[in-house]
Structure 1
Amino acid sequence: MISLVSAGKVLWVLHVVGWYVLRRPFDRRARKLNLTVDRRKGADTARLAVSLTGLGIIPAIYVMTGQPRFASYPASAILFLFGIASGIGSLILFRLTHKALGKMWSVSLQLKQDHKLITTGIYKYLRHPMYTAFWLMALTQALLLPNYIAGLAGIVGFGYLFFSRIGPEEAMLQEAFGEEYSQYRARTWRILPYVY
């Protein structure tokens, strides 16, 4: 019988593959469009690298090697079940955000030519639901991988990206869309309804 640790590792890999499969078509499409604003270089590239390290590289090392063993703890069936639920939730939300954004999606702080502010679908309620999906992804990692370093690396890595990027991103959108964005901001939550 497969152990909870092994099952958690397998589900983490499947979760990352699901994330990639959902994102790939949008990434290919987005690369074909002309940009009017591109702030990916410099600070944003560094933020993305830190996030990738926490959400991808460190947990992948743990999944493949079991290292760092000293940071492992006994797997819990309850945490495992919550990990499955948060993983499913993150993928559903991830799909909804990409569907709503369509060709306006980008991986970084970028605006396309003739960029439109998306305020429909999931964006009717949240200004940054893709960040909500990534927080759920980081939580899934923490719940499925019973290792203090590999499990929590996603929360730290993505947390760094989120808290260092949210201000510049909202400033960019305010500059691009002016009063339209101000009104949108006034009626929506950032990432969690009724909380933040």
Structure 2
Amino acid sequence: MTFVVLILAYAILASLFYVEYHYKARTTTTLQTAGDDRGTTRLLLLSYLIAITTPLVCLLLLDTTTAMSDYVKWTGLGIMFSAIFFLRWATTVNPFYLPSLSTTDDQFICTDGPYKLIRHPGYCAFIVAWFGFGLTTGSWIAFFIIFLLLSVVYLLRIQAEEQMMLDRFGVDYQQYMNETYRIIPYVY
């Protein structure tokens, strides 16, 4: 059962990346790259590699007597599906959503949909998806490695993006930061 759930989880992850990377900003005329992303792109790629291989290593090397129940694994799949819909919502309401750290010459700060409460619904969706993926692994060790690793790396990415947005929009983005949360409404 673990293997079936894990295969489904990999398929859902692929769908999540498809939604993000095949989305084109609707009003883009000229991209302005951020310059220094503080190494977060490389960190994300390395973290993805670790997160994707961790369940397989755990399946092969660890004792499965402390594994999660099937209910927890299927719940993880449900969480991953909800992350896809949340990401799709974020990409739909924000005409300037881009998977890279860049802005456009005609960009403005989106405050619609999930952006009313949180500044980074895309990253939130990915953190939630990796949380769900960790649950689908069937291993508490894999879950903690995946969730903690990706959460830390996404938080570093968020800091780099916020600096880019402050550089681009200045006081307007600072005001938006004062009125919203980063990724968890009313918490953080």
TM-score in same-fold range (> 0.5): yes
Q: Distance in 2 between matches of 1:84 and 1:130?
A: 18
Would you say 1:128 and 2:120 are equivalent positions?
yes
2:144 counterpart residue number = 152
Decide whether aligned partners of structure 1 residues 34 and 48 sit closer, same or farther in structure 2, where only a CA change above 3 A counts.
farther
Separation in 2 of the partners of 1:77 and 1:52? 24
**In 2, Cα distance between the equivalents of 1:124 and 1:96?**
13
Q: Which residue of 1 aligns with 2:89?
A: 96
Q: In 2, Cα distance between the equivalents of 1:172 and 1:123?
A: 17
From 108, 117, 122, give the equivalent of 2:109: 117
Deviation at 1:67, TM superposition (A): 4.5
Correspondences of 1:159-170 after superposition (within 5 Å):
159-170=151-162
TM-score normalised to the size of structure 2?
Answer: 0.83
Cα deviation for residue 83 of structure 1 reads 0.9
1:18 is matched with which residue?
Answer: 15
Q: TM-score, normalised by structure 1?
A: 0.80
- Aligned position for 1:78: 71
Tell whether the 8 Å contact from 2:124 to 2:183 is kept in structure 1 after alignment: yes
Alignment partner of 1:48 is 2:49: no
Question: 1:55-110: per-residue Cα shift (whole Å, max 9, x none)?
Answer: 43444xx1xx77442264433033124213311221111111111223x2222321
Report the counterpart of residue 195 of structure 1 in structure 2: 187
* Number of residue pairs matched by the alignment: 185
The one-letter code of the counterpart of 1:182 is Q
Correspondence 1:139 to 2:131: yes
- Structure 2, unpaired ranges of 5+: none
Structure 1 window deviating more from structure 2 (151-160 vs 161-170): it is: 151-160
- Unmatched 5+ residue regions in structure 1? none
**What's the % identity of the aligned pairs?**
23
2:14 and 2:134 map into 1 onto residues whose CA distance is 17
Cα RMSD after superposing both structures: 2.5
Q: Distance in 2 between matches of 1:80 and 1:188?
A: 33
Q: Aligned in 2, Cα 1:178/1:41: closer, same or farther, shift over 3 Å?
A: closer
Note the alpha carbon deviations across 1:114-142, whole angstroms, 9 max, x for none. 22211112111110111211111111111
